[in-house]
Amino acid sequence: MTAAAPIVAARDLVKSFGAHRVLHEVSFSVAPSQVVVVIGPSGSGKSTLLRCCNALEVPEDGTLTVCGTDLVRNGTLIPERELNALRMQVGMVFQSFNLFPHLTVLDNVSVGPRSLRRMPRAEAEALARDLLGKVGLAQKAEAYPATLSGGQKQRVAIARALAMQPRVMLFDEPTSALDPELVGEVLQVMKGLAREGMTMIVVTHEMGFAREVADVVMVMDGGRIIEEGPPEQIFGAPRNPRTRSFLQAVIARD
Cα angle 242-226-169, degrees, rounded to a multiple of 5: 120
Q: 1 - beta bridge partners?
A: none
Which of 101, 100, 10 has its CA nearest to residue 55?
10
**Choosing among ligand ATP, another protein, Mg ion, none, which partner's interface includes residue 48 (Cβ < 5 to 8 Å by kind)?**
ligand ATP
Q: 22 or 86, CB closer to ligand ATP?
A: 22
How does strand 216-221 pair with strand 199-203? unpaired
Residue 233 beta carbon to ligand ATP: minimum distance, rounded to whole angstroms: 21
- Can residue 178 be called a binding residue for another protein (CB under 8 A)? no
- Can residue 27 be called a binding residue for another protein (CB under 8 A)? no
- Can residue 96 be called a binding residue for another protein (CB under 8 A)? yes
How far lies 102's CA from each of 62, 98, 108, 236, in Å?
39, 12, 9, 47
- Can residue 22 be called a binding residue for ligand ATP (CB under 6 A)? yes
Residue 168 beta carbon to another protein: minimum distance, rounded to whole angstroms: 12
- Can residue 92 be called a binding residue for another protein (CB under 8 A)? yes
- Can residue 59 be called a binding residue for ligand ATP (CB under 6 A)? no
- Can residue 17 be called a binding residue for ligand ATP (CB under 6 A)? yes
- Can residue 47 be called a binding residue for ligand ATP (CB under 6 A)? yes
Give the containing element (helix H, strand E) for 210: helix 207-213
With H, G, I as helix, E, B as strand and everything else as coil, classify residue 158: helix
Is the separation of the CB atoms in 203 and 187 below 8 Å? no
Q: Which stretch binds ligand ATP (CB under 6 A): 37-45, 60-68, 109-117, 148-156?
A: 37-45
**Choosing among Mg ion, another protein, ligand ATP, none, which partner's interface includes residue 102 (Cβ < 5 to 8 Å by kind)?**
another protein
Is the separation of the CB atoms in 92 and 164 below 8 Å? no
